[in-house]
Amino acid sequence: MVNAHVTTLLSHLTQILSDGMAFSINDPAQAARVVLDATTRFHNPVHVREWSGPHIRETFEAVWSLLLICLGAA
């Protein structure tokens, strides 16, 4: 079940990255894997206790901003 969920997430991310006109990505599937890996802390249930931490939103925004810069979308 977990593998199917990760496969679905990667499929969605690949499609988003493929469709993103601002992105200059040669391999959307690889970029999707990088985004998923970089954001694991924010969607993997193993980290659920961290989600209510005082700085979680700030931390997510920092990670997301860096990803957007790296993807050429910012």
Residue % of the chain over a pLDDT of 90: 32
Please give the pLDDT value at position 18: 77
Q: What is the spatial distance between Cα 65 and Cα 60, in angstroms, rounded to a whole number?
A: 8
Q: How far is CA 67 from CA 2, 35, 49, in A?
A: 24, 7, 24
Instruction: Decide if 36 contacts 42 (C-beta within 8 A).
Output: no
Nearest CA among 61, 67, 74 for reference residue 34: 67
| Model pLDDT, residue 23 | 64
Give the separation between CA 54 and CA 36, rounded to whole angstroms.
23
**pLDDT confidence band for 51 (50 / 70 / 90):** very high
